[in-house]
Amino acid sequence: MGIFTVGLYLKVRRAHFQDGLSGRQIARDFGLSRDSVAKMLAYSEPPGYRRTAPIRRPKLDPFADQIDQWLAEDQGRPRKQRHTAKRIFERLRGECGFDGGYTIVKDYVRLRKRTGREMFVPLSHPPGHAQADFGEALVVIGGVEQKAHYFAFDLPHSDACFVRAYPAATTEAWLDGHVHAFAFFGAVPQSILYDNDKCLVARIMPDGTRQRTQRFSAMLSHYVVQDRYGRPGKGNDKGAVEGLVGYARRNFMVPVPSFPDWDVFNAHLEEQCRNRQGDVLRGHKASIGDRLHADLAAMRDLPGAPFEACDLQSGQVTSTSVVRYRGNDYSVPVAFGHRDVWIKGFVTRVVIGCAAQVIADHPRSYDTGDMVFDPLHYLPLIERKIMSFDQAAPLQGWELPEAFATLQRILEARQGKAGKREYVQVLRLLERFELAVLHPAVRDALRMGAVSFDAIKHLVLCRVERRPPRLDLDVYPFLPRTNIATTSAASYMTLLAGSDA
């Protein structure tokens, strides 16, 4: 039976329903079969092909279960390593003895994949609730191209967002992102929907409840936020923030962002989030900023102080006076050797303490196997073991003004090993005074010829106390004295005699 147009349907149906012609007469007049006329009278337009029996694939049907098994196994594998129709066809022929064609395999695989797709229920989002996640994008920070991990925070009711970037998606980055997001909106949501990230969820219990990590629980308690979780591996459960992750990458990070440091980059991202509040999204008549008012009205006020966004661990100081944190070693004063300490890992800093005392504060390193030293931590030990001075790793690369190198050279040339120790004593003044105070004192000592630890300490104290220095040799007998001897006449005559010869 051929394909008939809607116009022919109209003529046949008028002939029967208006003119009263029978189906037999219409078939003769239009040159149609009686079955075609009956179909035209039953339908107002061509209904299309209607299959009345299931499709039979005599060559493929014996292999259908095998294909279904391969496709089911693919669900637990990376998307880029799943079977294509071509690969299934090749395996059927090579492993199972299939001798059919590729087209029938391709059609079957397409049908199975289409019918296996998950369906979703449209959701409404009441005001005052949020979703959070992390995304990744390439950026250039300080001239170095690297991967940025950005915290994405979305309020689905209004579509208002906050995005902040970090060198790594660590526990402290999660916590810091929340703190900055709450500060950005000036309020705390009633609940936040998460995935099951290991920085947040230590374990999923058999009954489906989540055992949270200690610091994440502390943050939720501080802000009194209810946490909710999507199904493992189901990103669509938090589709709003998943969409924000992609939107931020496409709109905030194309072309590849280039900024001198993370702070400037994050200031840019915050400004982009603020500008987006003027947008009117499809399906809405009001802007994001206008709809944000309902979200904020349903959210709670911020607590009096922000949460301390850090990872908290314990450790022990080694014999080389370092503490390991996240694969890197950070120094502490040698007086705390072999003692138990606590470690607070912030996004940009690592703070180490013993009991109630903070003993070290270092910039955070995101390398692996890095050694982060503070030279001042080792000076007391180097003073006692002065022969280690030249090879002391904590002092390598310590950039000091040129006046210090001059001071060291003079002291070592004049006193040898004792001069080296005296130079270390000068450096130890940095334990109490800033370099901006010590450096001028060293320069003054070199200019005055008062090259010694006591003289430099005196000059530093005079600067701090704003009084003129008094470098009296009687008060400071340590200063090098000039011995002026009287030349005898006999010695002088010997020189003259030598010149005559």
pLDDT of residue 188: 97
Q: Which amino acid, residue 243?
A: G
pLDDT one-digit tens code per residue, 19-62: 899 999 999 999 999 989 998 888 888 877 666 666 778 888 88
Range in 44-48, 210-214, 344-348, 439-443 the model is least confident about: 44-48
Indicate if 245 and 178 belong to the same structural domain: yes
Range in 9-23, 112-126, 258-272 the model is least confident about: 112-126
Indicate if 142 and 237 belong to the same structural domain: yes
DSSP state of 176: H
Q: Which pLDDT band holds residue 482 (cuts at 50, 70, 90)?
A: very low
Please give the residue that has the higher pLDDT: either 9 or 307.
307
* CATH code, domain with 234: 3.30.420.10
Residue 100 pLDDT exceeds 80: yes
Residue 342 pLDDT exceeds 90: yes
How many independent structural domains does the chain possess?
Answer: 5
Indicate if 24 and 138 belong to the same structural domain: no
Indicate if 185 and 245 belong to the same structural domain: yes
Indicate if 352 and 398 belong to the same structural domain: no
Indicate if 382 and 470 belong to the same structural domain: yes
Q: Is residue 356 part of a domain?
A: yes
pLDDT one-digit tens code per residue, 165-211: 999 999 999 999 999 999 999 999 999 999 888 999 988 888 888 89
How long, in residues, is the chain?
501
Residue 1 pLDDT exceeds 60: no
Indicate if 228 and 291 belong to the same structural domain: yes
In whole angstroms, how far apart are CA 99 and each of 2, 87, 110, 438, 457? 34, 15, 20, 88, 94
pLDDT of residue 208: 81
Q: How far apart are CA 43 and CA 20, in angstroms?
A: 17
Indicate if 170 and 267 belong to the same structural domain: yes
Q: Which of 115, 144, 179 is the last residue of a domain?
A: 115
Indicate if 406 and 498 belong to the same structural domain: yes
pLDDT of residue 42: 87
Q: Which of 268, 298, 328 is the last residue of a domain?
A: 298
Indicate if 389 and 262 belong to the same structural domain: no
Among the listed residues 190, 176, 175, the one whose alpha carbon sits nearest the alpha carbon of residue 225:
190
| Pairing mode, strands 210-212 and 311-316 | unpaired
Among the listed residues 304, 354, 334, 335, the one whose alpha carbon sits nearest the alpha carbon of residue 344:
354
Q: How far apart are CA 174 and CA 157, in angstroms?
A: 22
pLDDT of residue 329: 97
Q: Is residue 1 part of a domain?
A: no
∠ Cα 352 213 123 (to 5°): 135
Cβ proximity of 211 and 202 under 8 Å: yes
Q: Which of 298, 333, 357 is the last residue of a domain?
A: 298
Q: Is residue 459 part of a domain?
A: yes
Q: Is residue 154 part of a domain?
A: yes
Indicate if 333 and 268 belong to the same structural domain: no
pLDDT of residue 496: 65
Indicate if 317 and 454 belong to the same structural domain: no
Residue 319 pLDDT exceeds 80: yes
DSSP reduced 3-state for 433 = coil
Q: Is residue 460 part of a domain?
A: yes
**Over the chain, what is the mean pLDDT?**
89
Among the listed residues 182, 158, 167, 150, the one whose alpha carbon sits nearest the alpha carbon of residue 250:
150
Mean pLDDT of 299-323: 96
Containing structural domain, residue 331: 311-372
pTM: 0.72
pLDDT of residue 74: 86
Range in 64-73, 81-90, 117-126 the model is least confident about: 117-126
Q: Is the dihedral of CA 188, 192, 197, 202 positive or negative?
A: positive
Residue 501 pLDDT exceeds 50: no
DSSP readout, 331-386? Answer: E--GGGTT-EEEEEE-SSEEEEEETTEEEEEEE---SSS-EE--GGGTHHHHHHSG
pLDDT of residue 410: 94
Q: Which pLDDT band holds residue 485 (cuts at 50, 70, 90)?
A: low
Q: Is residue 53 part of a domain?
A: no
In whole angstroms, how far apart are CA 317 and each of 323, 336, 367? 5, 7, 20
Q: Is residue 120 part of a domain?
A: no
Cβ proximity of 165 and 139 under 8 Å: yes
Q: Is residue 47 part of a domain?
A: no
